Structure 1
C-alpha cells in the first residue's frame, strides 16, 4: 500500500461521512458533473466514491490522477491545507472541463482526502437545464426564511403557524395555542434560543404553559 497519509479511525469516519454529501451534490448539480471522493490512505486505489464515472470510466478503487497529485502538492506548498483550487481543464479527448479540487482535513489539520468535481462543458444546454429543473424529493415550491437573526426567524414561523391554525375550522378555540405549539415543535422552532419566551409572550400565556404543552407532546 502506497500510504500518502496515515489515517486514524476518526479520519476514516470523516471521509465516510462525505459519501452522502456527494450524493446530495450530484442530485443538486444535475447532469454533466463527475464527482470523486479520494482517500489519501492509499493513492493506488484512492477513489472511494465515484459519481458519473462514465465520463472517464473511473470506478471505486481507481488510483488518484496525476493532476490531483499536482494539485495536492500545490495545496501543501501554499501552507494552507484549506486552499480550494478551481481551474479550467481538458480531458484526453479535448473536452473542456471546469474543475475543483477541494482538500478534506481530518485530525491534526492533516489532509486526508480530496473532493474533486469536474463539470463537462460539452453537455447540451437543454439536457443540463432539464436535469437541474427536475425535483423528485417532494419539496416543491417551498418558501425558506433567510432571517438575519433568530428573533425574526421565530416570529416568522410563529405568525405563519398562527395563520395556519386560525384558518382551520376543525381546531377548537380552546386548543389553538396547544396546536400552535405542537406545530412549532414539529418544525424545530423550540431549538432556537428564547423561542419559548417569545412564543409565550406573543400568545399571551406563561412560558410554563408552553413547557407543559411540550412535555405532554413528548409523552
Structure 2
C-alpha cells in the first residue's frame, strides 16, 4: 500500500522530476483537448507538481489530489492491476471525459506519484483536426526509419542522408561524403556499434576516411 505525505528519497525526487518532461511532451503531442497532470504523493494536499491544460478543471500547480485519483490508486494497488487504469468520468462542470491514471514507482517499487491523462469528449472536432495538421510554417515532414536491426538502421540512414545531400546542389561534389557523415553524426548514428565500417561500405570509402570526416565535424562543433 502507498503511504501519503512520506518524505521522498533523492532518487524518488529525481524519478518524479524526470516525468515533468513527459507531461510536457504528451500535452504538446496530444493537444488542448487533453489535460495532463503529474501528482506527487509526498504531499497530497499540494500534490499537483505539473499540469497542462488545467483550464478544463481550473487546477494549477500546488492543487490537492482528488478523491477520484486516490480511488483509482487504491484500485491499482488492490485489484492486481499492471500499474494503470482507464475509465470514463465527468468533471465538476459535468463535462464527459475518458481518463487514465498511471502509477509512478520510486525506490523499492513504492508508488510515489500518479500521471493522469484526461481527454475531454466534448472537445470540438475542429480542434482535434487542428492538432493533427502540421502548421503552415513547419518544415517538411520528417521521415522515420523502421528497421528490423541496427545494421539495417545504419544502412537505411546512410541512404537517407545520401539522398538528402545529393539533392542539395549547393554542396560541392568533393564535400558530399563529408556532409553525409555530418548528417549521420547529427542523427547520432555513430553511437551504434559497427556504424563506421557500415557507413564506409555503403559510401565505398575507407573507415579511416569516415573517421577523418567525423573528427573534423566534431572539431568544428567544439570550435
Give TM-score, length-normalised by structure 1. Answer: 0.88
In the alignment, the residues of structure 2 paired with residue 212 and residue 153 of structure 1 have an alpha-carbon distance, to the nearest angstrom, of 22
User: How many corresponding residue pairs?
Assistant: 217
Contact preservation (8 Å) 1:5, 1:112: no
For structure 2, list consecutive stretches of 5 or more residues without a partner in the other structure.
none
Measured against aligned partners, the alpha-carbon deviations of 1:56-112 in whole angstroms (never above 9, x if no partner) come to 1111111111111111111121456x5210111122333211000011111111111
In the alignment, the residues of structure 1 paired with residue 171 and residue 92 of structure 2 have an alpha-carbon distance, to the nearest angstrom, of 65
Equivalence map 1:1-219=2 (5 Å): 3-79=4-80, 82-135=82-135, 138-219=138-219
For residues 127 and 172 of structure 1, do their structure 2 counterparts lie closer, same or farther at Cα, with a shift above 3 Å needed? closer
For residues 92 and 169 of structure 1, do their structure 2 counterparts lie closer, same or farther at Cα, with a shift above 3 Å needed? closer
In the alignment, the residues of structure 1 paired with residue 213 and residue 86 of structure 2 have an alpha-carbon distance, to the nearest angstrom, of 51
In the alignment, the residues of structure 1 paired with residue 158 and residue 203 of structure 2 have an alpha-carbon distance, to the nearest angstrom, of 9
Contact preservation (8 Å) 1:28, 1:132: no
RMSD over equivalenced CA pairs, Å: 2.2
Pick which of 7-16 and 175-184 moved more: 175-184
In the alignment, the residues of structure 1 paired with residue 21 and residue 149 of structure 2 have an alpha-carbon distance, to the nearest angstrom, of 29
